[in-house]
Structure 1
Amino acid sequence: MLVEHAGWRPLLANVLGWLIAFSVSFSGHHRWTFRSHGAPLWRSALRFFAISAGGFSINEVVYALLLHWSGLRYDLVLGGVLVAVAGGTYLLSRHWAFKRNPAR
């Protein structure tokens, strides 16, 4: 919407999208997806932020390169990049950010 209706550049609109997605995604993962993880909120939040920021960095670089070199529509490129990054983010979240505390 920001690109089509507000005239924003795709990469800038992508930054705002990531900021919104980070908050929604962390809340959803913490409350539902990994609800019985047992990890402290602050630790999960920091780890998830690191994963999300890394994923976003990869997203932004690959998106920029594909926008420049592929000649495809920006929305198709973004969709493909988002699906790929989401898979990696989920796996890292499951096995690191929301990893259960070992029994003591």
Structure 2
Amino acid sequence: MVISCGARLIPNTEIRVQAVRYIVSGGILTVLYSVVYWMLAAPLRTPPLVANMIGFLCALICGWALHSRWTFRGQGDRAKRHVAYGRFVAVNLAGFGLNSFWVWMIVGRLGGDVALPILPIAIVTPAFMFLANRFWTFG
């Protein structure tokens, strides 16, 4: 079975391998983000949206290294890495906006515990990020 992406066909095995790599590297990055966010927001009482931004920056820096060298290794034009980096930053800014929405909605509007936004941040945002990175950033 193949998936159509524009004019080209992508074998499912390639996507599966990248998805597994993304789950591993994304899991590492999500743990990194979550630990930084929670440590700042809970014990250190940093405002949650500030803690979210710092966690995002830590994950962004480590994420480029992991995703460009391992998750999506061999995909895209190596000569255009600057284009991929710009797109990576754009996709991650969208992810940051989505994560900020979760923090704002769950903590700010609904009065939930600062740990609750970690659930959609760990599940919903990574699914969006994989698809955007797979088909646009490194595509």
TM-score interval, normalised by the smaller of the two chains: 0.7 to 0.9
Superposition map of 1:20-99 within 5 A: 20-39=58-77, 40-99=80-139
After TM superposition, the score normalised by the length of structure 2 is 0.65
Higher mean displacement: 43-52 or 4-13: 4-13
1:79 shift after superposition: 2.8
- Alpha-carbon distance between aligned partners in 1 of 2:55 and 2:137, rounded to the nearest angstrom: 21
- Alpha-carbon distance between aligned partners in 2 of 1:38 and 1:94, rounded to the nearest angstrom: 10
Structure 1: gaps of 5 or more residues: 100-104
| Aligned-pair identity (%) | 28
1:60 shift after superposition: 0.7
Question: What is the aligned partner in structure 1 of residue 19 from structure 2?
Answer: none
Select the structure with the greater relative contact order (CA < 8 A; seq sep ≥ 6).
Answer: 1
Give every structure 1 segment of 4 or more consecutive aligned residues whose post-TM-superposition deviation is greater than 3 Å: none
RMSD: 1.5
1:69 shift after superposition: 3.2
- Alpha-carbon distance between aligned partners in 2 of 1:10 and 1:23, rounded to the nearest angstrom: 20
- Alpha-carbon distance between aligned partners in 1 of 2:49 and 2:119, rounded to the nearest angstrom: 13
After TM superposition, the score normalised by the length of structure 1 is 0.84
